[in-house]
Amino acid sequence: MDFAQRYGPWALIAGASEGTGRAFARRLASRGLPSVLLARRREPLQALVAEIRAESGVECVAATVDLAAPDALAHIVAAVGGRQIGLFVSNAGADPHGARFLDLDAQAWLDLAQRSVMTTLHCCHHFAGPMRARGRGGVLLVNSGACYGGASFMAAYSATRAFTLAFGEGLWAELKPHGVDVLNLVLGRTDTPALRKLLAEKGLPVPEGIASPDDVAELGLERLPHGPVQNWGLADDAVGYAISSAAQRRERVLMIDKASRAVFGDS
């Protein structure tokens, strides 16, 4: 199966209007895959749809959805309509605050958790079920090195990212036998408008040599069949902030998966 057969006929990208989400949409179109693009702002989404159509002739559609809304899934399902989703890219997940936990109202962190945890969980449940039934598909969870542990200014953020890591590893183990690929694409600092905005608000410069959205999107699509984890800038067997490498995590997931299957009666 080529890429479009394996992950088509449609992709769904949550957080697609700029940065890595935008790069995923363009890279997917260049592989012949149309996407349903989600974000809050209509104008950049519509501009991206027009750009993709002109560039590749691939049809895309866009819908404005707030992924932090408790009823986000209903809006996403309505936007998708009758299209069959073969690849779900969960992209939106950054912390727009960069603040200490107690320095903001709890609602700011609840919104972050709703978007990055609850809506991701809802979408994976809704869209991966039919993928499993078809015996093909993909779930690409854009993640952050913050998934590997907590730190000042990142307490709630790193907790949401740790959820994504463990959730994606478990999903990988459950869905791989059914032909569905799951990948946590763990990024370091990446030159997105969201990062630039946060740095500007803090009066900080954009660091030199950080990753480009196009490069991380390309790596994610290349490594999608090789989950459950790909760390940006690191070989599969290299250890970064994670203490264990992606390869060691894969072995660990498989080992625990075996024990878990024995407990739950599925050998």
Ligand X SMILES: NC(=O)c1ccc[n+]([C@@H]2O[C@H](COP(=O)([O-])OP(=O)(O)OC[C@H]3O[C@@H](n4cnc5c(N)ncnc54)[C@H](OP(=O)(O)O)[C@@H]3O)[C@@H](O)[C@H]2O)c1
16 scored as a contact of ligand X (CB under 6 A): yes
158 scored as a contact of ligand X (CB under 6 A): no
195 scored as a contact of ligand X (CB under 6 A): yes
Instruction: Read off φ and ψ for residue 182, nearest 5 degrees.
Output: -130, 130
Among 189, 215, 236, 247, the residue binding ligand X under the rule CB under 6 A is: 189
Find the shortest distance in angstroms from Cβ 220 to ligand X: 10
Helix (H, G, I), strand (E, B) or coil at 104: coil
202 scored as a contact of ligand X (CB under 6 A): no
Sheet bearing 137-144, strands edge to edge: 61-64, 35-39, 10-14, 85-90, 137-144, 180-187, 229-231
Closest CB to ligand X among residues 4, 162: 162
51 scored as a contact of ligand X (CB under 6 A): no
67 scored as a contact of ligand X (CB under 6 A): yes
The CB density around residue 107, as the number of other CB atoms within 10 Å, is 9
75 scored as a contact of ligand X (CB under 6 A): no
CA pair distance 118, 23, nearest whole angstrom: 24
The CB density around residue 26, as the number of other CB atoms within 10 Å, is 20
Instruction: Show the binding pattern over residues 77-96: x = contacts ligand X (CB under 6 A), - = does not.
Output: --------------xxxx--
128 scored as a contact of ligand X (CB under 6 A): no
On the CB side of 98, CA atoms within 13 Å amount to: 12
Where do contacts with ligand X occur on this chain (CB under 6 A)? 15-21, 39-41, 65-68, 91-94, 115, 142, 144, 187, 189-190, 192, 194-195
